[in-house]
Structure 1
């Protein structure tokens, strides 16, 4: 599903604040997922509690996170979690945009 540039930018900006990082790719969802997966992988190895707190804060469904974590390869887990995060943030950005238009 194609997202408007405003939706993608809103989601990206929010992710930058939540993860306390800069320079996430603004309009390229594939590049965003790659970069976010690197950040998630780092957190999986270094600060799992912070990652879990972020997932809770973003409101990613717990059962989907558990499903994503069923893999032998940490990189696969990180990619799956990054996809869940981006999907949730895009959905929230759509909702915010919809209510701003009213």
Structure 2
């Protein structure tokens, strides 16, 4: 998931964040419809299979896009970039 992220974490400016939502199945069209209602010229998202990648250029608390994530229901979990990296490190350590 981290390798296929369309946003470059090393290019983030101060206050920008990447978050990744993982769904239990490929999202239906209504997912795009729900998220698109909160889209602005500030924040963006891209869907790739079971994952939704978000780029927030402002505080998540101020983002209309972020507020629409909770409307996706209980078949999705969302984590920030740092947490996803820590989870990847833990998974790699378990394989060794």
Asked if Structure 1 and Structure 2 have the same fold, meaning a TM-score greater than 0.5 normalized by the shorter chain, the answer is no
Comparing both structures, which one devotes a greater share of its residues to strand?
2
Scaled by the length of structure 1, the TM-score of the pair is 0.30
Scaled by the length of structure 2, the TM-score of the pair is 0.31
Comparing both structures, which one devotes a greater share of its residues to helix?
1
